[in-house]
Amino acid sequence: MNTSKAGRIGLQLLAATSIVLLAAGCQFNGLSLPPSVTAARTSVAANAVAAAGSTVSGTALQATNQTTSVISPVAARSSTAQQTSPTPTTAAPIVSSNFATAVREVAARVKPAVVQITNQQVQIDQFNQSVSVPAGVGSGVIYDAQGHILTNNHVIAGADKLLVTLPDGRSFPAKVVGADPQTDLAVLQISGSNLPIAQLGDSSQLQVGDWVVAIGNALALTGGPTVTAGVVSAVGRTVQEPADQNGNAPFLFDVIQTSAPINPGNSGGPLVNLNGQVVGINTLVAGQAQPGVQAQGIGFAISMAAARPIADQLVATGHVTHTYLGVRYLPLNAMIASRLGTTQKSGIVVMQVVSGSPAAKAGLQQRDIVTAADGTNLVDESSLARVLSMHKPGDKVALKVIRGTNTLTLTVTLAALAGQ
């Protein structure tokens, strides 16, 4: 499959992995897809740009620069960041009485704030000289008067320089305010006058069947952003990003599934409701359901409910704080349960406990079966990461553990992931 993620270069989402890393190993399980199903990010690789995007080497889930952490990074809350970040524009939402023109009105309102982001990287040419060349193209959306742009991390990963181009033809060098591979989000900033601004909306109000509009630089076509429309197909999905070169593939939570066509170059662009408000950041598309069978009309956007707190932290501090547990584990299945001599049907099996980690200090051991965290049953690989994503370093989390014939409750004090 040759898919792409708008802004992420050369990445493919793998449907299954044998070892799941605590905040970096969800397996597309929330979509109940067979192991052969793949998802792709929607970025356009540089060679695809040169050919008007007809060929794309990178997919929406194919990020080359995913997080390099291998043990338990998950996003933590930050109420301070939310209080100090710039307030989005409060322009009145569109209220169209004519559905026939609703998408047109949304496009007119939002498209001016949807930018093209060119990822420029330094390479050595045939004369052994360093030259800056475009390595990929994605999208982003300006969301405040300070020129902050919300996009995907995979759009900017590996960049030596970033060039932002507005639909009105103006171009600006962009600085990275902060980026977070674990949530695949990044905030850039440009300096300019009379910048168009898109309003951020409340994705929690979305319902299945609502019409939405996807805007982005599909295939890096000349002439400005492409506008497509569809419906909200599902909300609250959990999907796994494609693994990076280090094998890390983080979970994305509270993802919006949409039928609006999302193509290479769309990554980082907005998913917009008919009120003209940004409710998601287009990030992934589903690839092949099985060899030779391409999935149709299945795209994914990070909900604004999930994206806005991350953007707030990035603007406030330049980084996102992730919690650290310190285990590697496998999902419990019938074969593993039989080998462990347990009748337990669901949970995760601890394969490794890092010495000195919060898990080790709490007494977690290899071959332990963790069945619940904070009172939430662990039903798949993503369940534990989801629970931990609701916490911050220093929080205590109760784990229900089966060890042999005994059932224990261990309390773990989460730490901050080092090296952030």
Q: What CATH number corresponds to the domain at position 271?
A: 2.40.10.120
Q: Is the pLDDT of residue 30 over 60?
A: no
Q: Regarding predicted confidence, which is higher, 103 or 382? A: 103
Instruction: Judge if 327 and 410 occupy the same domain.
Output: yes
- Looking at residue 385, its pLDDT comes to 87
What b/e sequence results for 38-55 when a residue is b if at least 16 CB atoms lie within 10 Å of its CB, and e otherwise? bbbbbbbbbebbeeebeb
Q: How far is 163 from 171, CA to CA, in rounded Å?
A: 7
**Number of domains into which the chain is organized:** 2
Range of the domain at 398: 322-416
In this structure, of 121-130, 272-281, 411-420, the range with the lowest mean pLDDT score is: 121-130
Q: Is the pLDDT of residue 79 over 50?
A: no
Q: Is the pLDDT of residue 87 over 70?
A: no
Final residue before a domain boundary, out of 272, 293, 318: 318
Q: How far is 74 from 253, CA to CA, in rounded Å?
A: 11
Final residue before a domain boundary, out of 318, 334, 360: 318
Catalytic machinery residues: 154, 184, 267
The domain that holds 381 is classified in CATH as 2.30.42.10
Average of per-residue pLDDT across 288-305: 87
Query: Of 321, 392, 362, 253, nearest to 370 (Cα)?
Result: 362
The first and second tokens of residue 390, run together, are: 């609701």
Instruction: Judge if 359 and 227 occupy the same domain.
Output: no
Residue 94 pLDDT class (50, 70, 90 cuts): low
pLDDT, tens digit, for every residue of 338-353?
Answer: 999 999 999 999 999 9
Q: Regarding predicted confidence, which is higher, 74 or 206? A: 206
Q: What is the mean pLDDT of the chain?
A: 78
pLDDT, tens digit, for every residue of 158-197?
Answer: 899 999 999 999 999 999 999 999 999 999 999 999 999 9
In this structure, of 83-92, 95-104, 141-150, 408-417, the range with the lowest mean pLDDT score is: 83-92
Average of per-residue pLDDT across 27-44: 40
> How many residues are present in the chain?
420
- Looking at residue 24, its pLDDT comes to 26
Instruction: Judge if 240 and 364 occupy the same domain.
Output: no
- Looking at residue 43, its pLDDT comes to 55
Q: For the beta carbon of residue 30, count every other beta carbon within 10 angstroms.
A: 22
- Alpha helix locations (H) across 320-392? 334-340, 358-362, 381-389
Q: How far is 93 from 96, CA to CA, in rounded Å?
A: 10
Query: Of 221, 223, 168, nearest to 196 (Cα)?
Result: 168
- Looking at residue 295, its pLDDT comes to 83
Instruction: Judge if 144 and 120 occupy the same domain.
Output: yes
Kindly report the pTM of this predicted structure.
0.74
Instruction: Judge if 275 and 361 occupy the same domain.
Output: no
Average of per-residue pLDDT across 104-114: 96
Instruction: Judge if 156 and 242 occupy the same domain.
Output: yes
Residue 76 pLDDT class (50, 70, 90 cuts): very low
Instruction: Judge if 114 and 237 occupy the same domain.
Output: yes
